A and B are shown apart, each in its own frame.
Chain A
């Protein structure tokens, strides 16, 4: 908790700087795409939020496995704390994708493999948060949500790799690639990577803040339980 108190403020400043630089650079100083026009500027929000939606679930998966094996309470609370952030990122990816898709594909929504798997991931986030809220006993809630997280990981993986093994969808292939030929042009790539860095730092800062809040509330409930027994 003391470490969190010390690092949170600098992390928020770093996140704001990276987001401001990456997204601001992308919005104000990058050219239009020859085919997609100015809608390409949505990439600085859509790609980082979609990546964080999947990575947040991956982080929750690791924390859930640690809980199931080691019964480490902070890991269960960290997974719980990350879920609303992942939900927001998934919603942001779906929203920016729909707004981008309308002028490019002529539709807000298509039952494309990647879009559909992302919608299912969104529903899993909702279910995960609802399950935590529905169960009073924190250890039982942690057990059940951890199992749900394991099951939902299938859709997180599908969301990540759907474009690689389902080619019939409308969604384009991966934006970032280690293959120079397939990767986007440097003029878009540099601000995009800075924006992704900003999203990652913001995610870490928010997880720390929310986990600290969960730990505090766990202590409050423990004190109140002792007061009731006394």
Chain B
């Protein structure tokens, strides 16, 4: 399935691996931040309403 990347295989694979790591890292951090903020808001509203 892997295409023949010839003499530049290392550069092409490095570019794809690095980009994938950056994108997945960004999505993970955003998702974690979203979960953290929801939990903090639920706790704060619980204190206020309770």
Contacts and interface: CB of A to CB of B under 8 A. Distances in A.
B18 A99 contact: yes
Contacts, number: 97
B6 A88 contact: no
Interface in B1-50: 1, 3-9, 11-12, 14-16, 18-19, 22-23, 25-27, 29-31, 33-34, 36-38, 40-41, 44-45, 47-48
Secondary structure at the B interface, as helix, strand, loop or mixed, is: helix
Interface size class of A (residues with CB under 8 A): 35 or more
Contact of A92 (B12, B23, B27, B33): B23
Contact of A95 (B12, B19, B45): B19
Contacts of A96: 15, 18-19
B32 to A, nearest CB: 10
Chain A interface mostly: helix
Contacts of A49: 19
Given A37-B6, A227-B48, 18 more contacts: A32-B6, A37-B7, A39-B11, A42-B11, A42-B15, A42-B16, A92-B18, A95-B15, A95-B22, A100-B15, A102-B11, A209-B30, A212-B34, A213-B34, A217-B41, A220-B41, A223-B47, A224-B44
Interface of B: 1, 3-9, 11-12, 14-16, 18-19, 22-23, 25-27, 29-31, 33-34, 36-38, 40-41, 44-45, 47-48
Interface of A: 27-28, 32, 37-39, 41-42, 45-46, 49, 84-85, 88, 91-92, 95-96, 99-100, 102-103, 202, 206, 209-210, 212-214, 216-217, 219-220, 223-224, 226-227
